[in-house]
Amino acid sequence: MSADREKNHTMTDTDIALLLADAADEVEIGIAPYQAVIRGGRRRRARRWALATAAALVITGASGTLALAGLRDGKGIEATPAVTQTATQPSTPEERHVYVPQETMLAAGTEKGETWYISVDVWGAPLTKAEAEAQVQAMANRHEDPWDKDSPSALVGKITYFVKQAFGSGDPTFLMGDSASKADTMAGTDLKSGATSLDPKKTDGPQRLVVGQVARTAKAVTCTWKDGSSTVARRVAAGADVNSDEAAIRPAAGSADNWFVCVAPAGTAYQSAEVTTD
């Protein structure tokens, strides 16, 4: 948010809460019910991302670190299982994917004989309250639950996304999500990432799975693991196949930001993630 916008912004209860959280940067408040960590280049947006998944109970460090709660065959899967390109200037809700999301496969692989994958559903921005109300109902029909469902008008002008994680024969589970306006588009070295266990049923397992967002211009993300090793995710073109256990940065249909996924080798866990030039 620009300085001018901040200056002219009327302070809300949410803003006050964020300011209070800023003052508590060095205080550990508690531990989240699931093992996961979120880091944000843009502090305010990172917090919303965490709160979209579960209560963010740990706030430490000036960079804004938050704890939050809580992927199929890895042999060259189509990158987008159900992606429809939007028109250059879409006008109807259907053309904007307001009532049916665009789905993109972000990553896939195998772990001890079990397949996993990460996908993201992106819902187009409604332009009116009526469109937003219909969108909330459409989301509910897909068992996707927006945090602004009690005030659909809050979704007007914003895309909403839900990241899903699946492992083995289990049904996909919600991993993270948010609603974002054009002003929230990431730039430069901005990065938001969540780390959790590869098997969502093993919440006490090592945080080996890292999923995050970066700017469209980001060429690489380096995920560093606790044993000192690292994995580099590099940008691939839209429509590129999702190869087994390959770290990559890729576009998601309907999303203004790019997405990346890294998985730590067995025996270690997440340490950090950053946009790099490598």
Total structural domains in the chain? Answer: 1
Cβ atoms within 10 Å of 243's Cβ, excluding its own: 17
- String of DSSP letters for 32-66: -SS--EEEESSHHHHHHHHHTTS----EETTTTEE
Q: Is residue 278 part of a domain?
A: no
Instruction: Choose the weakest-confidence range: 45-59, 204-218, 221-235, 252-266.
Output: 45-59
pLDDT at 12: 53
- Cα–Cα distance for residue pair 42/125, rounded to 1 Å: 21
pLDDT on residue 151: 86
Q: Say if 168 falls within a structural domain.
A: no
Pair type for strands 230-235 and 248-251: parallel
pLDDT at 91: 84
Residue 59 lies in a domain: yes
Distance between CA atoms of residues 169 and 190, nearest Å: 35
Flag the least confident range among 6-15, 24-33, 55-64, 165-174: 55-64
Token digits for 170?
């289990």
Q: What is the pLDDT of residue 201?
A: 85
Among 4-8, 72-76, 101-105, name the one with the lowest average pLDDT: 72-76
In a domain, 143, yes or no: no
Contacts of 237 (CB under 8 A, 6+ apart): none
- Does 179 map to a domain? no
- Give the amino acid at 114: E
In this structure, are residues 50 and 74 in contact, taking their beta carbons and an 8 Å threshold? no
Q: Which three-class secondary structure state does DSSP give residue 175?
A: strand
Tell whether 136 is covered by a domain: no
* Main-chain dihedrals φ then ψ at residue 138, nearest 5 degrees: -65, -40
What pLDDT score was predicted for residue 15? 53
At position 68, the amino acid (one-letter code) is L
Can you tell me the distance from the alpha carbon of 277 to that of 117, in angstroms, rounded to the nearest whole number? Answer: 27
pLDDT score, position 204: 83
Look up residue 269 and give its two tokens. 């866990």
Q: How far apart are CA 108 and CA 209, in angstroms?
A: 11
Report yes or no on whether pTM surpasses 0.75.
no
Please state, in angstroms and rounded to a whole number, the distance separating the CA atoms of residues 235 and 122.
20
Computed over every residue of the chain, the mean pLDDT equals 75
Q: Give the residue-averaged pLDDT of 23-43.
A: 38
CA gyration radius for the chain?
Answer: 18
Model pLDDT, residue 203: 79
Domain that holds residue 8: 3-67
Instruction: Name, in order, each residue with C-beta under 8 angstroms of 134's C-beta and a sequence gap of 6 or more.
Output: 93, 98, 99, 126
Q: What is the pLDDT of residue 30?
A: 33
Q: For the segment 177-228, what is each residue's pLDDT rounded down to a tens digit?
A: 889 998 989 999 999 988 999 998 887 889 999 999 999 999 999 999 999 9
Is residue 60, in this structure, part of any structural domain at all?
Answer: yes
Q: Is residue 231 part of a domain?
A: no
- pLDDT exceeds 50 at position 54: no
